Amino acid sequence: MAHQLNVKKDAAVVIGGVNMDIWGRPTGALVMHDSTPGSVRMTPGGVGRNIAHNLRLLGMDISFVTAMGDDLIGRALMDACTGLGLNMQHTLVKKGGHSSTYLFVTEAGGDMCCAINDMDICAALTPNFFESLLPKLRANAAMVVDANLPAESLTWLCNRARMPVYADTVSAAKAERLRPQLRNLRALKTNALEAAALTGEKDPERAAQKLAKLCPGRVFVSLGPDGMIAAERSKLLRFPVYDAEVINTNGAGDAAAAAIVWADLRGCDLAATAQLAQLAGSITCRSAKSNNPELSALPNLM
């Protein structure tokens, strides 16, 4: 894959979804079909935004390209992103648009029970929108995309990036959008359900092996509490989860994705990259938010 000259070596562009996360957590057992006492919190989220936030915590210069409305939620999300130091100048703000929201309910222990995402505004991120931006995006050392983008936009970007492309499958329902672009990826971060949707293999190791044949770079399959599988060509490694007090698992996978990008750009091998990804996820689980400021300490833990 050809590289541009004069790129910013510690800079990346992240292209993907941004949401207002609405988190409901019961104080005791969750009672279905009834009102359960608990807490409800709102925080900025979204796979793309979370990855961008985590890369900023890791010290990288990040441009974030997404779509949001000019509504109350959109203005709050924009303020939050700029407050993190993300470059938002290329983000699409749609007049009269309805900004994305992500509603999820966890068990008292923090594991997710169910979720609903309202992300129709991502359909506005079309190839036509990216056409004029591409020369500016190529000033970065890497591109990170998530499967919230329309399939045609993922194809367009991956075929024209001219830089390493890292991708997150987001969900089993959206993973299919990345299938035609596996050959263009430097690394793919997914989980067992999403890997099964991409390969038809229910066994995570077989799914990882199949993905490694399709992707010339690296494949990382998160297994939640069972750890992670990392694969590269014919090599397959399995890593246990780090022990951590789990407050909230939402965002742990996004932290792992950010660590994969950060570590790979620094020349870490497959094993070291996977271990850093697992550690990043465990750090995030210790926070009630989708991004834990303590992630900034990760470089010192190498």
Q: Is residue 5 part of a domain?
A: no
- The share of the chain scoring above pLDDT 70, in percent, equals 98
Residue pLDDT, tens place only, 10-62: 999 999 999 998 999 999 999 989 999 999 999 999 999 999 999 999 999 99
* Phi (first) and psi of residue 97, to 5 degrees: -80, 155
Confidence of residue 2 (pLDDT cuts 50, 70, 90): very low
Q: Is residue 154 part of a domain?
A: yes
Residue pLDDT, tens place only, 98-113: 999 989 999 998 788 9
Q: What is the CATH number of the domain that holds 211?
A: 3.40.1190.20
pLDDT for the residue 6: 56
Residue pLDDT, tens place only, 150-172: 999 999 999 999 999 999 999 99
pLDDT for the residue 180: 95
Whether the predicted pLDDT of 5 surpasses 70: no
Q: What average pLDDT score do residues 236-242 get?
A: 93
Beta carbons within 8 Å of 56's beta carbon, 6+ residues apart: 62, 84, 85, 86
Q: Is residue 52 part of a domain?
A: yes
pLDDT for the residue 170: 96
Whether the predicted pLDDT of 130 surpasses 90: yes
CB atoms within 10 A of CB 289: 19
Q: Is residue 87 part of a domain?
A: yes
Q: What average pLDDT score do residues 289-295 get?
A: 92
pTM flag (> 0.85): yes
Q: Is residue 4 part of a domain?
A: no
Total domain count for the chain?
A: 1
Q: What is the dihedral of CA 82, 86, 92, 96, to 10 degrees?
A: -30
Q: Is residue 89 part of a domain?
A: yes
Domain of residue 131, residue span: 13-301
Say how many residues make up the chain. 302
Q: Is residue 8 part of a domain?
A: no
